[in-house]
Amino acid sequence: MYTAPDSCKGRCEEPYSEEDECHCNAECERYHNCCEDYYTHCRPEGFSSSRDAITDEDLLHISEQLYKADHNKARPSDIAINPQYQASPDETGHGEDRSLQPLYKYVNEDLFSKPTYASFIKLLDNYQRVTGREEDVTAEELREQDNFLKEVMKTELMKKLFAFLHKKNRYGSQQEFVADLKEMWFGLYSRGDGEQDSSGFEHVFSGEVKKGKVSGFHNWIRFYLLEKQGIVNYFSHNFNGPWDTYPDVLGLQFSWDGFYKEVGAAFIGSSPEFEFGLYTLCFIARPGRACHLSLGGYSLSIQTYTWTKSTYGNGKKYIATAYVISP
């Protein structure tokens, strides 16, 4: 009987083979490379009876813990935004600037001297934004990646995330976790014609331009810094989250040096480790699916996708993208 190579039907516990598009053995969760229907065919009980399962309930609980542990987030007085025009769903594609003023009225830049912010901002200028251009990673840039990971791992938020994933048997040690974070986020792959031109971090946090449109670019710090320089022009928003403190969420329309972003949902006022941690959690727990979380009693979903065309380690998948789903 022929089974589609991207399905687990009839393939449960099949030994690992690097020729397979996706996998159906017990290790596939750890390597984020299970087929999408792995839970349907190989774990009929939805994996919930296993000690190591990350249940929907677990995700709601750990996300609230991470939310409470975001001690570096902006205070309400640190940021003043001016969202102006709210676009309807059929207006987001118009590419019209319907807001005369910038989005950010004020940001307390003292935030940016905190170690996780400072090490994050250093990473933002390390990338060529156009896909198809090889990324040349210098020794200094590799040190900046290591420094960012070192700083975020000092935070209570990332320690809590590691403790959770360790308990769920995803990682044996913090060293293993950090090494995997470095690969899944900073490892290079090709979105173009074979050039090592992209990474999960570049796509999500720094942003790219592909086929004349902005791709990725889901970070408020990056947006603020470029808006201040006059390189980003805020057009409108299509969604404003229910939070009355930071982090909040906005769905944005904007242009970056003339290239348009139709809907770029972003946390506003969160620390770098908060976004990095939540996206990592969802990529590990629900790769390629909506990941339902709870932040301060409000629900929020994150979508991640794995990069399917190349792998690292023993068939592990890179992050292709991660973003907040605008309702």
Q: Determine the structural domain holding residue 148 and report its residue range.
A: 56-325
Is residue 4 in a domain? yes
Q: Quote the mean pLDDT of the chain.
A: 89
Residues 125 and 26 in one domain: no
Q: What is the CATH number of the domain that holds 39?
A: 4.10.410.20
Beta bridge partners of 311: 317
Residues 209 and 285 in one domain: yes
Residues 38 and 72 in one domain: no
**Confidence band for 185, pLDDT divided at 50, 70 and 90:** very high
Is residue 49 in a domain? no
Residues 187 and 250 in one domain: yes
Q: Is 261 a catalytic residue?
A: yes
Residue type, 213: K
Model confidence, pTM: 0.85
Is residue 61 in a domain? yes
Residues 111 and 14 in one domain: no
Give 153-211 as a 3 state SS string: HCCHHHHHHHHHHHHCCCCCCHHHHHHHHHHHHHCCECCCCCCCCECHHHHHHHCEEEC
Per annotation, catalytic residue among 23, 32, 168, 203: 203
Residues 63 and 31 in one domain: no
Per annotation, catalytic residue among 32, 210, 261, 317: 261
Residues 65 and 139 in one domain: yes
Q: Is 203 a catalytic residue?
A: yes
**Confidence band for 144, pLDDT divided at 50, 70 and 90:** very high
Would you state the torsion angle of the CA atoms of residues 122, 126, 131, 137, taken in this order, to the nearest 10 degrees? Answer: -140
Task: For residue 324, give the nearest of 299, 212, 202 by alpha carbon.
Answer: 299
pLDDT tens-digit readout, 242-257:
999 999 999 999 999 9
Per annotation, catalytic residue among 23, 73, 210, 218: 218
- Per the structure, the count of domains in the chain is 2
Is residue 92 in a domain? yes
Residues 9 and 65 in one domain: no
Residues 63 and 23 in one domain: no
pLDDT tens-digit readout, 186-206:
999 888 777 787 899 999 999
Task: For residue 233, give the nearest of 94, 107, 100 by alpha carbon.
Answer: 100
Q: How many CB atoms lie within 10 A of CB 318?
A: 24
